[in-house]
Amino acid sequence: MRETKYWTWHMAAGVVILFLLGLHMLIMHLGGITHLFAPHGGEATSRANSLYRDGRLFFLATYILLLGVALYHGLYGLRTILFELTLKPGVEKAVSVVLLIAGLGLFGLGVWAAFATHAIAIAGARG
Amino acid sequence: MPAEINFHVTRFNPETDQAPYVKIYPVPVREGMTVLDGLHYIKENLDSSLAWRYSCRMGVCGSCGMLLNGRPTLACNTQILHIATTDLTVGPLPNFDIIRDLVPDLMTMFEKHIALQPYIVRADQAELDDPEGEFYQSPEELDAYLQFTYCIKCGCCMGACPTLATDARYLGPMPLAAAQRYNADTRDDGRRARNQVTGSSHGAFRCHYAGECSRVCPKGVDPARAIQYLKRQLVLDYLHLARRKKPCKKLHGPGQGKLLANITPAPAKTV
């Protein structure tokens, strides 16, 4: 049943990715129409608008959430592809451990980068 | 006037051959002749060493599953002139080891099948061993699994499965459809035990839903659908959203179930 748990979360992560990427599209690529989270006007990618978003806790949370679900979804998918190569059980276990360590490492690095960006944005907003 | 079709038959004897090779046999073909008839012609007239497996000759036993013009199907159920005009390729089912020529080793399929407990599992084992009544099942409940009972275990779905082509440990369409057949049976109480196997890392979740298994099934079974039902049930069981229901109860005599309307009475006994 462990695989059922992994697969269920894989599907759930896919749905969250769809929602968050939809939000990304609305803010970054359809900004000219929606003007979402762009209080300084102009391009959504302008420095002022980027600092505004990076300084908000909502965006810090969504960055970390997107990082987590994308890493899980992608690495589980990679694990599935590798498992379909008829690996030996020992190799399958090693693959799972390597991917888990890689995922946790990348997640830690990403979280650090998200907090650093958030701190820089807040400092920038203060002048 | 019979047409002559060239049978391109895959030959392989593991005791003498390094790898399978193709041998061509010209076979005079008449209207209505099946591929199985063509193979018999070859054995009787051209090459007595050709080996294949068959039994019933009427699409019931599932013995003569083989690859005809690249499609896994039954040799007894396929007329030559329906699929060939000049040439016909005949090979063993893919995704299986070859015992000899057109004879695949189906043991890997049956081992997976057995692992899924393809039979009624109940707590009241005494009743199963020495039945005193009948288990009532409505026509609607029968419909939930009826089509999956038509499987004849020929292995054509396993030969067509692209996942099984790379992942030999994948359970495959036939065993998974059999698991669904019993999971959906209201007399059965073994779903949670089967979940341990169907929900494993080479179980139902490895199905990519290519649908080839359903396309090639000579009996019209839809294993791809069965696997999707299995996935849904596994997820519902994991999330504790599945309805907890007990297997159907035993009746203590005939006539206690709900009878279908308009059933013609049985004819009077003659003896």
* Contact across the interface for A83 and B163, Cβ inside 8 Å: no
Q: Which tokens hold the place of A99?
A: 């991917």
Which residues of B fall below an 8 Å CB-CB distance to A? 163, 166-170, 195-196, 199-203, 205-206, 231, 234-235, 237-239
User: How far is the C-alpha of A47 from the C-alpha of A51, rounded, in Å?
Assistant: 6
Domain residue limits, chain B: 3-104, 107-251
Domain B3-104 in this protein, CATH class: alpha beta
Does the pLDDT at position B260 exceed 70?
A: no
CATH number of A108's domain: 1.20.1300
Does the pLDDT at position B42 exceed 90?
A: yes
Chain B residues in contact with A1 (beta carbon < 8 A): 195-196, 199, 234, 237-238
pTM: 0.87
User: What does the pLDDT average to over B189-212?
Assistant: 94
Mean pLDDT of the residues in chain B: 93
Higher pLDDT among residues B271 and A22, named by residue: A22
Angle formed at CA B20 by CA B18 and CA B23, multiple of 5 degrees: 125
Q: A80: distance to nearest CA of chain B, Å?
A: 8
* Contact across the interface for B167 and A86, Cβ inside 8 Å: yes
Strand partners, B117: none
Closest chain B CA to residue A7 = B205
The string of pLDDT tens digits covering residues B113-154 is 999 999 999 888 888 788 777 888 888 999 999 999 999 999
* Contact across the interface for B239 and A8, Cβ inside 8 Å: yes
- pLDDT for the residue numbered A123: 87
Does the pLDDT at position B38 exceed 80?
A: yes
- pLDDT for the residue numbered A96: 95
- pLDDT for the residue numbered B138: 86
Chain A residues in contact with B238 (beta carbon < 8 A): 1, 4-5, 8
Examine the predicted complex and report whether its ipTM is higher than 0.85: no
Chain B residues in contact with A77 (beta carbon < 8 A): none
The string of pLDDT tens digits covering residues A55-99 is 899 999 999 999 999 999 999 999 999 999 989 999 999 999 999
Name which of A1, A80, A84 is nearest B196 (Cβ-Cβ): A1
The string of pLDDT tens digits covering residues A26-51 is 988 887 787 778 787 778 878 888 88
Chain B residues in contact with A91 (beta carbon < 8 A): none
User: What does the pLDDT average to over A17-28?
Assistant: 93
User: What does the pLDDT average to over B36-60?
Assistant: 97
User: What does the pLDDT average to over B20-35?
Assistant: 97
pLDDT confidence band for A100 (50 / 70 / 90): very high
Does the pLDDT at position A2 exceed 90?
A: no
Q: Count how many domains chain A has.
A: 1
- pLDDT for the residue numbered B261: 74
In total, chain B counts a number of residues equal to 271
Higher pLDDT among residues B260 and B44, named by residue: B44
Chain B residues in contact with A3 (beta carbon < 8 A): 199-201, 203, 205
Chain A residues in contact with B208 (beta carbon < 8 A): none
Does the pLDDT at position B253 exceed 80?
A: no
* Contact across the interface for A92 and B206, Cβ inside 8 Å: no
Does the pLDDT at position B258 exceed 70?
A: no
Superfamily of domain B107-251: Alpha-helical ferredoxin (1.10.1060.10)
- pLDDT for the residue numbered B27: 97
pLDDT confidence band for B197 (50 / 70 / 90): very high
Does the pLDDT at position B5 exceed 70?
A: yes
- pLDDT for the residue numbered B126: 81
- pLDDT for the residue numbered B132: 77
The string of pLDDT tens digits covering residues B146-192 is 999 999 999 999 999 999 999 999 999 999 999 999 999 999 999 99
Does the pLDDT at position B71 exceed 90?
A: yes
- pLDDT for the residue numbered A63: 94
Closest chain B CA to residue A80 = B206
Does the pLDDT at position B252 exceed 70?
A: no
* Contact across the interface for B205 and A7, Cβ inside 8 Å: yes
* Contact across the interface for A85 and B203, Cβ inside 8 Å: no
